[in-house]
Amino acid sequence: MNAGRLRLAVNGFRRAFSFSYYPKSIGLHSVSYKNLGRQQATFRYNIPCRYYGHDVPITKPMIEDRVMLVLRLYDKVDPNKLTMDSRFREDFGIDSLDHVELVMAMEEEFCFEIPDIDAQRFLTPRDIIQYVCDKHDI
């Protein structure tokens, strides 16, 4: 290996393990560990951590759009007939297995689990929207 390649490799290694190279969005926390023996010594380690912002506040129109999008993309639902008050069983002929698939799609979309007792009450898209709004305190 020639000197130029070795220098590049060493500089890359230093950059990867140097805390001063991390972007500004990463903060450094120092953690102290004390030995409980006779002599107490404090060791400090710098641990990089990334700061994240808050989630975008979710609104009822956002929930309505997301629920209606998931329902429109479901193959058993006709997007042209879909309204807020469409009944899943009567208007689209959705059986219990299809209903479970819809509930699973909503769980994936909104990243929380919906108990079966609550899912049985989902008769229309409006029921799903109201449930999600209640979960998000809207």
Q: How far apart are the C-alpha atoms of 80 and 46, rounded to whole Å? A: 58
Same domain, 64 and 107: yes
Q: Quote the domain boundaries for residue 17.
A: 3-50
Q: What string of pLDDT tens digits covers the 138 residues of the chain?
A: 566 665 655 555 555 444 444 444 445 444 444 555 555 555 555 666 666 777 778 999 999 999 999 999 999 999 999 999 999 999 999 999 999 999 999 999 999 999 999 999 999 999 999 999 999 998
- Note the helical H segments in the chain: 3-17, 60-73, 88-92, 96-110, 116-119, 125-135
Predicted confidence at residue 47, as pLDDT, reads 61
Q: How far apart are the C-alpha atoms of 3 and 76, rounded to whole Å? A: 66
Find where tokens 């898209």 sit: 125
Predicted confidence at residue 36, as pLDDT, reads 53
Predicted confidence at residue 10, as pLDDT, reads 55
Predicted confidence at residue 31, as pLDDT, reads 46
Predicted confidence at residue 98, as pLDDT, reads 96
Predicted confidence at residue 92, as pLDDT, reads 95
Residue 110 in any domain: the answer is yes
Residue 26 in any domain: the answer is yes
- By the 8 A CB rule, do 48 and 28 touch? yes
Residues labelled as active-site residues? 95
Same domain, 70 and 43: no
Same domain, 94 and 113: yes
Predicted confidence at residue 45, as pLDDT, reads 56
